[in-house]
Amino acid sequence: MDKLKDYSMAVKFFNKVAYESTNCGDQWKSPYLHLRRMQCYSELIGIAPDAYLNAQDAISSFNSVVPLLDPSTKNNAMCQYRYLKGQLMYKEYNNLCDKKKKGSSPTLVKKINKEMKTLRSDAIKYIEDYENQIGDCSSMSNELDNLKDGC
C-alpha cells in the first residue's frame, strides 16, 4: 500500500509541475523528460494499472521532439529510447503472463491471450531489430530469449 500511496503522491506532484501555471512553458520540448517518463512507467508496470498505456504516450511524445536532441548526445539518447521501449514491451508481456495466471474468468483469459500474442510478436520483432543495430547500446538478448520461450 505504501508504494501505491507514494505513486499517488508522485503523480499529484508531477501534474502540479507539468500542468499548473509555471515558468517552464516549453518543458515538454525536452526529449530527456520523456525518456525519464518511459523509465518511470517501466518501473510501474505491474503496480500501476495504466503504466503501459501511459508509456505509449511518453514514447509518442519522445518521438515528436527527437529533432531537438543535442547532436553530441543523440546516439546515447536514442540507445536509451530503443532500450526502454524494448523493456516496456518485455515487462508488459510478463505482466500479462502474471495476470493470465491469476485470471479467473475464461473471457478475461481469452482477452489476455490475444493481447499477449500480439505483444509477444511485436516485442520479438522489435528486439531482434534492436539487437541487429545494437552498436554501443545495452543488449537485450536475455529478454529476447525469454520472449521466445513464452511464459
Q: What is the pTM of this model?
A: 0.79
Q: Give the residue extent of every domain in the chain.
A: 28-149
Asked whether 121 and 145 are in contact (CB, 8 A), the reply is: no
At residue 29, what is the residue type? K
Reported residue count of the chain is 151
pLDDT at 19 over 60: no
Average pLDDT of 78-99? 95
- The residue among 70, 69, 42 whose CA lies nearest residue 56 is 42
The rounded Cα 112 to chain-centroid distance in angstroms is 18
pLDDT band at residue 23 using 50, 70 and 90 as cut-offs: very low
Q: Dihedrals φ, ψ of 48, to 5°?
A: -100, 130
Average pLDDT of 64-87? 90
Q: What is the mean pLDDT of the chain?
A: 84
What residue has cell string 518511459? 38
Asked whether 39 and 74 are in contact (CB, 8 A), the reply is: no
